Amino acid sequence: MKGSSGKKYGVVSSVIGGVVEARFHEGLPPLNNLLVTGDNEGIRVEVSLHLDSETVRCNALTPTGGLSLGTPVRDTGQSLQAPVDRKILGRVFNVFGETIDRKDPLEDVQRRSIHRQSLNLTELATQSEIFTTGIKVIDILAPLERGGKAGLFGGAGVGKTVLITELIHNMVGEHEGVSIFCGIGERCREGEELYREMQEAGVLDNTVMVFGQMDEPPGCRFRVGLTALTMAEYFRDDRRQDVLLLIDNIFRFIQAGMELSGLLGLLPSRLGYQSTMASELSQLEERITNTPHAAITSIQAVYVPADDLTDPAAVHTFSHLSASIVLSRKRASQGLYPAVDPLESYSKMLTPTIVGDRHYRIAQEIRRTLASYEDLKDIIAMLGMEELSRDDRQTVLRARRLERFLTQPFFTTEQFTGMPGKTVSLEEALDGCERILNDEFSEAPEKSLYMIGGIDEARGKTRQKPSGDEADNRTDLSGNREAT
Q: Write out pLDDT tens, residues 43-54.
A: 999 999 999 999
Residue 321 Cα to chain centre, angstroms: 11
Q: What does the pLDDT read at residue 463?
A: 61
Catalytic residue among 8, 160, 331, 398: 160
Cut 0.75: pTM above it: yes
Long-range contact pairs involving 259-263 (C-beta distance under 8 Å, separation at least 24): 259/218, 260/18, 260/48, 260/59, 260/218, 260/219, 260/222, 263/16, 263/17, 263/18, 263/19, 263/59, 263/218
Compute the residue count for the chain.
484
End-to-end CA distance of the chain: give it in Å, rounded: 74
428 is catalytic: no
Which of 332, 34, 9, 2 shows the shortest CA–CA distance to 163? 332
Q: Identify which of 90, 131, 135, 143 has the alpha carbon closest to the alpha carbon of residue 421.
A: 135
Residue pair 402/340 in contact by the 8 Å Cβ criterion: no
If one counts every other C-beta atom within 10 angstroms of the C-beta of residue 124, the result is 14
**Alpha carbons 211 and 96: distance in angstroms, whole number:** 10
Is 166 annotated in the active site? no
> What are the distances in angstroms from CA 453 to CA 201, 204, 334, 440, 458?
20, 25, 19, 17, 9
Residue 164, pLDDT score? 85
Contacts of 346 (CB under 8 A, 6+ apart): 141, 142, 323, 324
The b/e string for 339-351 (b: 16+ C-beta within 10 A; e otherwise) is: bbbbeebbbebbe
DSSP string across 419-470: PPP----HHHHHHHHHHHHTTTTTTS-GGGGTT-SSTTHHHHHHHT--GGGG
Backbone angles phi, psi at 248, to 5 degrees: -135, 100
461 is catalytic: no
Side chain identity at residue 256, one-letter code: A
Which segments of the chain have a pLDDT < 70?
1-6, 462-484
**Cβ-Cβ contacts under 8 Å for 438 (sequence gap 6 or more):** none
Question: 3-class SS at 162?
Answer: helix
Q: Are 160 and 327 in contact (CB under 8 A)?
A: yes
What pLDDT was estimated at residue 107? 86
What span, in angstroms and rounded, lies between the C-alpha atoms of 235 and 402?
A: 38
Which one of 145, 186, 259, 403 is the catalytic residue? 186
Cα–Cα distance, 210 to 196 (Å, whole number): 15
Q: Which of 7, 86, 87, 187 is catalytic?
A: 187
Residue 374 in 3-state DSSP? helix
Virtual torsion, Cα 18, 24, 28, 31, nearest 10 deg: -10
